[in-house]
A and B are shown apart, each in its own frame.
Chain A
Amino acid sequence: MDFDLSDDQAALLARIDGVVVHRDVEHAFEISKNGGYDAELDARLYATMDPAQPFNLLDRVLVADRLAELGTATTHAIGLALGISAPDVMISAAVTVVGPTGLARFGAQAGLAVVGSKDELRVVDLKTAKVEPVRTGFVYPYARVDADGARTVGHVDAEVWGGAILLVRCAEVAGIAGATIARTADHLKSRVQFGRPLATLQALRHRLSELAVSAEATRWLVREAAYTGTPRAVAVAAQYAQQTAAAIVPEVVQIGGARSFAHEFGQHVGAFRLEALRLELGRPDALTAALNAAPMPSGAHNGR
């Protein structure tokens, strides 16, 4: 049991940080605030960390967490999730995943998409699919994708890929949750009301602390699930991450006050992205059912 990054993991994250910092973190966040897509940064990320390389799932969720925390508008995390089970698909372009109703994050910007059901998951060339951007206020660009008749460029293993994409989304929840709590903390420290900083009010301090418990637990449950790969651990991480997102959003909006509604402060980014990810994770009853049905690993104890 070791909660520290290995040298290799630290080096990997340093490479990712380097790419984003070189691109300019503030600039990347500005694009996110507008619900845009940072094509240049995404291309640099794919060039720096090719998803087809044999990174393990823990590496991939660490990167997804970090990119989400940095507030980027890129598809790279999803590309990473795909990379583990599709060695035959060379990911040279941005990749996305199409949800059950045809909605896909970055659907209008990505080059490849994963479509299908549990029985068959295809990787399709989006240039050959019908793609219609939709209006959304959730700070990611979404599009409706009709992949019937689109050219298939590969297949992915549904079981392996399903767990990977779930955990990458959970890692994004963890990263955004951490960043959102930090941003809200900055607001509480700087905002003066009733003659003193809001950060001195215990009611608000305790609420933020409760959120920090959920965010930190989400982060570690996701990492543990990525390491062990057991269905139970994956199901626990997904169910908990979804609850964390649901808990954080109303609280940070409330604590942020009317600034949460204004574009200029950027406080909306975390709230809306968490809501989006919560929805991308699937229906709560489905996650609940998956957790309750997941067997305890042999010899396991205490819910692990």
Chain B
Amino acid sequence: MEFGWTEAELAFRAELREFIAEAVPPEWATLIPGEHADTSFTRGFSHSLAERGMFVSHWPAEYGGAGASPWQFIISGEELWAAGEPRGSQYMNVNWIGPAIFSSGTPEQKREHLKRIATGDVTWCQGFSEPGAGTDLAALNTSAVRDGEDYIINGEKIWTSYAQVAEYCFILARTDPDSVGTKGISIFLVPTSTPGYKAEVIPSVLDIHEYNRLTFTDMRVPSAWRLGPENEGWDVIRRALAHERIGGPRYARAALVCERIAAQADENGWWQIDGFATRLASARSACAAARILVYQALGDRVKGRPDDLSVSLSRVAIVRCERLVAELALDLDGEEALVVGSVGHGQIKTSMIAGLGGGSAEVQLNQISRILLGSAR
């Protein structure tokens, strides 16, 4: 057991931090991660990271990475999330879409997708939630029916980020019409230009990218676009969701906001406010708690062990710290928190996302309790 970084990991963090300071405009520090999800800047930044070998360095070399320490995944996540996530939507490709493809894809799929993902050259979206299957994702009804060498996909997806600009969609569909729950689900890697694919904006109040409603109407896709075996997509999804739940190290940004609040407290005399010091200390330790639990989850992953419990513990801790920091920032900013660009305004909105993005916090509590107490039935 040891809690230090290797020289290579420290050097990687230092180099990345230096590059961020040089390449990311200062105003990004006040953005909500995801506020600029897919722009020429985020594309250019991702390309630059890739050129420096820092975009997917933890990926295996054969897929465009450097086979570097898997801990570089979280180091880059922390540094970039704290900087407002200048990769934009590309973080999702790096965190789990690419790994899902190199873990379960055919040689053709790897050739087609991985190089573009590894160079930050393509935008993806995920077709997961449906009007009737949100928190209970396994209740999804989108169907993919075999028709010779193709499938015909029909259904509706909702709350899809980046769909307006994505070139590909990572779609879950039920390929066994008689199945229920996690059985009988398959994954498809579908170009958004495919006839029958339609994306409509759902206006968002969160000041980040818009959400979308996707409709698939008799969308014909070749079986070669299916990722992994038919009807067995849930295992891939489970791993992907585990990446998604801790892939955005929200605690890193929340911790940074704590330090900004502390600096503002020095300037504004907030240390005299009743309860301020206690709340700040609690927020700081909550961020540290989320960080160490995420590291523990990664430790499980690095060792190839199941990480269901550790990921769920981490996610709950992440949500807690985001909320604590948001409440503190909001209270201190007072009326100024009403203004876009204030610390409180940004933090309250990002904390609202924290409990729902990547699956609701209650699902994580269910998962923890299943391990502690067994099934609820």
A contact residues vs B (CB 8 Å cutoff): 1-6, 9, 58, 62, 181, 185, 188-189, 199-200, 202, 205-206, 208-210, 212-214, 216-218, 220-221, 223-224, 227-228, 233, 236, 239-240, 243, 284-285, 287-289, 291-292, 296, 299, 301-304
Cα separation A53 to B278 with both chains bound (whole Å): 38
Which chain B positions have C-beta within 8 A of A224?
3, 292
Cα separation A2 to B71 with both chains bound (whole Å): 10
Whether the Cβ atoms of B277 and A292 lie closer than 8 Å is yes
Which chain B positions have C-beta within 8 A of A2?
1-2, 299
Q: Does B288 contact A (CB under 8 A)?
A: yes
Partner of B365, one of A199, A209, A288, A302: A209
Q: Does B273 contact A (CB under 8 A)?
A: no
Find the A residue at minimum CB distance from B303: A4
Whether the Cβ atoms of A289 and B277 lie closer than 8 Å is yes
The 7 closest A-B pairs by CB, nearest first: A205-B369, A217-B289, A3-B299, A209-B368, A303-B255, A288-B281, A240-B285
Number of CB contacts from chain A to chain B under 8 A: 156
The proximity string for B residues 282-308 relative to A, scoring 1 for CB distances below 8 Å and 0 otherwise, is 101111111111011011100100000
The proximity string for B residues 237-251 relative to A, scoring 1 for CB distances below 8 Å and 0 otherwise, is 000000000000101
Q: Does B47 contact A (CB under 8 A)?
A: no
Query: Shortest distance in angstroms between B81's beta carbon and chain A's nearest beta carbon?
Result: 9
Partner of B71, one of A1, A213, A218, A303: A1
Whether the Cβ atoms of B255 and A302 lie closer than 8 Å is yes
Whether the Cβ atoms of B369 and A292 lie closer than 8 Å is no
Cα separation A301 to B12 with both chains bound (whole Å): 14
Whether the Cβ atoms of A9 and B281 lie closer than 8 Å is no
Which chain B positions have C-beta within 8 A of A284?
278
Cα separation A90 to B2 with both chains bound (whole Å): 29
Which chain A positions have C-beta within 8 A of B293?
213, 216-217, 220
Query: Shortest distance in angstroms between B292's beta carbon and chain A's nearest beta carbon?
Result: 4
Cα separation A199 to B1 with both chains bound (whole Å): 34
Query: Shortest distance in angstroms between B86's beta carbon and chain A's nearest beta carbon?
Result: 16
Having A3-B299, A6-B2, A213-B320, one finds 9 other A-B pairs with CB under 8 Å, namely: A2-B299, A3-B296, A185-B372, A200-B377, A208-B369, A209-B369, A289-B277, A291-B284, A302-B82
Which chain A positions have C-beta within 8 A of B50?
none
Query: Shortest distance in angstroms between B347's beta carbon and chain A's nearest beta carbon?
Result: 15
Cα separation A199 to B373 with both chains bound (whole Å): 6
Cα separation A9 to B2 with both chains bound (whole Å): 11
Whether the Cβ atoms of A227 and B369 lie closer than 8 Å is no
Which chain B positions have C-beta within 8 A of A202?
366, 369, 376
Whether the Cβ atoms of B365 and A301 lie closer than 8 Å is no
Cα separation A70 to B286 with both chains bound (whole Å): 27
Of A181, A213, A287, A299, most B-chain CB atoms within 10 Å: A213
Whether the Cβ atoms of A58 and B292 lie closer than 8 Å is no
- With an 8 Å Cβ cutoff, the count of chain B residues facing the other chain is 57
Which chain B positions have C-beta within 8 A of A233?
288
Whether the Cβ atoms of B362 and A302 lie closer than 8 Å is no
Q: Does B100 contact A (CB under 8 A)?
A: no
Whether the Cβ atoms of B1 and A5 lie closer than 8 Å is yes
Whether the Cβ atoms of B376 and A199 lie closer than 8 Å is yes
Query: Shortest distance in angstroms between B60's beta carbon and chain A's nearest beta carbon?
Result: 20
Q: Take A213-B317, A285-B278, A304-B288 as given contacts and tell me if A1 and B299 are in contact as well, using a CB distance cutoff of 8 Å.
A: yes
Q: Does B203 contact A (CB under 8 A)?
A: no
Whether the Cβ atoms of A228 and B289 lie closer than 8 Å is no
Of A199, A210, A224, A289, most B-chain CB atoms within 10 Å: A224
Q: Take A210-B316, A210-B365, A303-B258 as given contacts and tell me if A3 and B295 are in contact as well, using a CB distance cutoff of 8 Å.
A: yes
Q: Does B24 contact A (CB under 8 A)?
A: no
Cα separation A223 to B2 with both chains bound (whole Å): 9
Whether the Cβ atoms of A4 and B372 lie closer than 8 Å is no
Whether the Cβ atoms of A228 and B3 lie closer than 8 Å is yes
Whether the Cβ atoms of B313 and A213 lie closer than 8 Å is yes
Query: Shortest distance in angstroms between B358's beta carbon and chain A's nearest beta carbon?
Result: 16
Q: Does B146 contact A (CB under 8 A)?
A: no
Which chain B positions have C-beta within 8 A of A218?
289
Q: Does B256 contact A (CB under 8 A)?
A: yes
Of B2, B13, B292, B299, most A-chain CB atoms within 10 Å: B292
Query: Shortest distance in angstroms between A239's beta carbon and chain B's nearest beta carbon?
Result: 5
Which chain A positions have C-beta within 8 A of B82?
301-302
Cα separation A209 to B363 with both chains bound (whole Å): 11
Find the B residue at minimum CB distance from A284: B278
The proximity string for B residues 261-289 relative to A, scoring 1 for CB distances below 8 Å and 0 otherwise, is 01000000000000001101110111111
Q: Does B79 contact A (CB under 8 A)?
A: yes
Q: Does B85 contact A (CB under 8 A)?
A: no
Which chain A positions have C-beta within 8 A of B300?
3
Query: Shortest distance in angstroms between A235's beta carbon and chain B's nearest beta carbon?
Result: 8
Cα separation A131 to B1 with both chains bound (whole Å): 40
Which chain B positions have C-beta within 8 A of A6?
1-2
Find the A residue at minimum CB distance from B9: A1
